[in-house]
Structure 1
Amino acid sequence: MTPGLIVVTVTYSPGPHLDRFLASLGHATERRVTVVMADNGSTDGSPEAAIAQYPDARLLHTGANLGYGSAVNLAVRDYITNPANPVGAGDPEFFVVANPDVVWGPGSIDVLLEAARRWPRAGSLGPLIRDPDGSVYPSARHQPSLVRGGMHAVVGPIWKSNPWTAAYRQERLEPSERPVGWLSGSCLLLRREAFDAIGGFDERYFMYMEDVDLGDRLAAAGWQNVYVPSAEVLHDKGHSTGRDPARNLAAHHESTYTFLADRHSRRWQAPLRWVIRAALAARAGLVVGNSRRKTRRR
Structure 2
Amino acid sequence: MTEPENQFKPLLSVVIVTYNSIPFIGLTLASLLKKPHPRCEIIVVDNNSTDGTVEYIKSSFPQITVIQNHHNPGFGIACNQGMAEARGAFFLMLNPDTIVPEDVVEKILDFMTLHPGCGAMGVKMIDGNGRYLPESKRGLPTFSRSAFRMLGLAKWFPSSHRFSGYYLGHLPVDKINKIEILSGAFMVLTRTAIEKCGGFDERFFMYGEDIDLSWRIKEAGFDVYYNPDITIIHFKGESTTRDVRYLGVFYEAMEIFYDIHFGKKRKPFFKVLVRLLILVTKLLSTLRLLISQNLTKQKTIFPLKGKFMVFSTTKNISSIIPKQILADDEPQIVNAPIQMENYLSGNMLFDFSSFSADFVIRTIEKNEYDRDVMMLTHDRCYLLYPVSASRRTYVFSLIDFKVES
The TM-score with structure 1 as length reference comes to 0.87
Structure 1 residue 15: Cα displacement: 0.9
CA distance in structure 2 between the partners assigned to 1:213 and 1:133 by the alignment: 29
Distance 1:270 1:255 in 2: 19
Q: Equivalent residue of 1:105, what SS?
A: coil
Among 245, 248, 268, the residue aligned to 1:247: 245
Residue matched to 2:143: 146
Deviations 1:58-104 (A, max 9, x none): 22122322221111012222x12xxxxxxxxx32x112110011111
Identity of aligned residues (%): 29
Counterpart AA for 2:18 = T
Deviation per CA, 1:21-61, whole angstroms, max 9, x where unpaired? 11110246633533221111211112211112222212212
Aligned-partner Cα distance in 1 for 2:223–2:95: 22
Name the CA shift for 1:161/1:56 in 2 (closer, same or farther; >3 Å): farther
My pick for the range that moved more, 167-176 or 270-279, is 167-176
Residue 116 of structure 1 and its aligned partner are, at CA, apart by 0.7
What's 2:367 paired with?
A: none
Task: Report the counterpart of residue 101 of structure 1 in structure 2.
Answer: 97
- Find the counterpart in structure 2 of residue 292 from structure 1: 290
Tell me how far 1:239 sits from its aligned partner: 2.9
Match among 149, 152, 155 for residue 155 of structure 1:
152
Q: 1:147 to 1:55 in 2, by over 3 A?
A: same
Residue among 258, 272, 275 paired with 1:274: 272
Distance 1:34 1:52, change over 3 A: farther
> What is the rounded CA distance, in whole Å, between the counterparts of 2:28 and 2:124 in structure 1?
16
**Distance in 1, Cα, partners of 2:277 & 2:252:** 12
Q: SS of 1:25's equivalent?
A: helix
CA deviation map 1:151-206 (0-9, x unaligned) = 213336xx733455633213353221221111111012210111122110111111
224-233 or 160-169, which moves further after superposition? 160-169
More deviation in 180-189 or 259-268? 259-268
Aligned AA (1:75): G
Give the conservation status (yes or no) of the 8 Å contact 1:198–1:218: yes
CA gap of 1:229–1:267, structure 2 versus 1, over 3 A, is closer
Corresponding residue number in structure 2 for 1:24: 31
* Secondary structure class of the residue paired with 1:240: helix
Offset of residue 10 of structure 1:
0.7
Using a 3 Å threshold, how does the CA distance of structure 1 residues 186 and 127 change in structure 2: closer, same or farther? same
Gaps spanning 5+ residues in structure 2: where? 1-6, 298-405
Backbone CA RMSD of aligned residues: 2.2
Higher relative contact order (Cα pairs below 8 Å, separated by 6+ residues) = 1
Compared CA separation, residues 105 and 49, structure 1 to 2 (3 A): same
Matched position secondary structure for 2:255: helix
> Which piece of structure 1 moves more, 255-264 or 29-38?
29-38
Give matches, 1:222-241, under 5 Å. 222-241=221-240
1:62 matches 2:59: no
Letter in 2 for 1:193: T
For 1:60 and 1:2, the matched residues in 2 are separated by 22
Q: Superposition pairs for residues 170-181 of structure 1, below 5 Å? A: 170-174=168-172, 175-181=174-180
Identify if the C-alpha distance between structure 1 residues 111 and 185 changes in structure 2 by more than 3 Å, giving closer, same or farther. Answer: same
Larger of the two Rg values belongs to structure? 2
Corresponding residue SS for 2:164: helix
Q: How does the TM-score come out when normalised to structure 2?
A: 0.65
Report the more deviating stretch, 32-41 or 9-18: 32-41
Other-structure match for 1:123:
119
Q: Judge conservation of contact 2:40–2:105 (CA < 8 Å) in 1.
A: no
Equivalent residue of 2:236, what SS?
coil
Could you tell me whether the CA contact under 8 Å between 2:75 and 2:206 is conserved in 1? yes
Which sections of structure 1, spanning at least 5 residues, go unmatched? 81-89
> Kindly tell me: are residues 121 and 204 of structure 1, through their superposed partners in 2, closer, same or farther at Cα, counting changes over 3 Å?
same
Question: Compared with structure 1, are the counterparts of its residues 269 and 71 closer, same or farther at alpha carbon in structure 2 (3 Å cutoff)?
Answer: same
The alpha carbon displacement at 1:270 in A equals: 2.1
Q: Is the 8 A contact 1:29 1:107 kept in 2?
A: no
Task: Give distance in 2, aligned partners of 1:179 and 1:268.
Answer: 27
Q: Give the AA of the match of 2:137.
A: A
Q: CA deviation at 1:267?
A: 7.0
Kindly provide the amino acid, as one letter, of the partner of residue 3 in structure 1. K
Q: 1:58 to 1:273 in 2, by over 3 A?
A: same
Which residue number corresponds to residue 14 of structure 2? 7
Counterpart-to-counterpart distance in 2, 1:14 and 1:76 = 20
Counterpart-to-counterpart distance in 2, 1:136 and 1:29: 27
CA contact (8 A) 1:179 1:224 kept: yes
Mean alpha-carbon deviation: is it higher for 56-65 or for 178-187? 56-65
